[in-house]
Amino acid sequence: MITRYAQRNLTWVDLVNPSAAEVREVMTEFDLDPLIAQELLIPSFKPKVERRGEAIYLILHFPAMRIMGTRPEQEIDFVIGKHFLITTRYENVDPLHSFAKAFEVNTVLGRGGATHGGHLFIEMARSLYEALGDECSGVHRTLQAIEEQIFRGDERGMVVELSHVGRTIHDFREALLPHEEMLESFESVSTRFFGAEFGYYVRQLTGTYQRLERGLTHLRDSLTELRETNNSLLTTKQNDTMKVFTVLAFLFLPLSFIAGLFGMNTQNNPIAGHPLDFWIIAAGMAVLGISCIFYFKHKGWL
């Protein structure tokens, strides 16, 4: 599918799962290098920045909320020219859809500030990073909710929740890891293409990315602290449970010994045969058990 947007003398073409015919149409219209056109047809697994002819080709992968059976990242290919911007994606990218709506509104109101494809790319990439920042804020709220549940006593149930959040943060960091290097390379290429003053806008975009990266680092640190706290509370509870079972086992040991002793089939037993033999043995065991309980409480074991 191909969608076109126009703002003054600037054209944005958005391709979603493009067919060969659509790519040929765009290649002919904007005089693209055939190698770029060929790469637009299939997803790429590695980021890239290169200049080919009168266009800059940039591949970036953005993290996405994981859905079972899908990759945790979404690829967007950017072909940036002086009077055009071409984006190619292979699945729906919600932040890009939101940017398209805002772009159309600004076009109608005459508020478009982009003067060439490089400026439009900067606005679009900043919008994508800010959308990721909003998702990170959602992860932060999830961690706060998990923290409340931990201190309400649901440590065991939060083990799985912490693992899910950890996987999300890991996917975000892995997808964004190459971006700083790609932005540095893009600054070098784009300043020769659009002029030295364009480097200022690229550095602004790099700053937006670095704030996002710092936010992810903070989330990772918070997750680590919560996981350690949860594990400590779980260990304390398990130790308390084991202590109770150990004390109970020790409590019943002498009682079992007495029961076994008087249960032996012997001819001479000082109590066996007495009219109250059962009650004497039971009372002795009760006194011994109660004495052990008071002793354990005095020692702080119960």
Could you give the percent of the chain with pLDDT greater than 70?
75
Do the beta carbons of residue 221 and residue 229 sit within 8 Å? no
pLDDT value of residue 48: 87
User: Which band of pLDDT confidence, cut at 50, 70 and 90, is reported for residue 70?
Assistant: very low
Name the amino acid, one letter, at 231: N
Name the amino acid, one letter, at 67: I
Mean pLDDT of 70-90: 82
Q: Render pLDDT for 242-267 as a digit per residue (tens, 0 to 9).
A: 766 666 666 666 666 666 656 655 55
pLDDT value of residue 108: 63
Buried b (16+ CB within 10 A) or exposed e, 56-67: bbbbbbbbbeee
Q: Render pLDDT for 81-91 as a digit per residue (tens, 0 to 9).
A: 888 888 888 88
Read out DSSP for 243-292? Answer: HHHHHHHHHHHHHHHHHHHHTS--S--SSTTSTTHHHHHHHHHHHHHHHH
In this structure, of 67-71, 99-103, 111-115, 205-209, the range with the lowest mean pLDDT score is 67-71
Q: Render pLDDT for 12-62 as a digit per residue (tens, 0 to 9).
A: 888 888 888 888 888 888 878 888 888 888 888 888 888 888 888 898 888
Q: Domains for the chain: give ranges and CATH numbers.
A: 2-235 (3.30.460.20), 241-299 (1.20.58.340)
CA pair distance 225, 245, nearest whole angstrom: 30
More confident residue, 31 or 122: 122
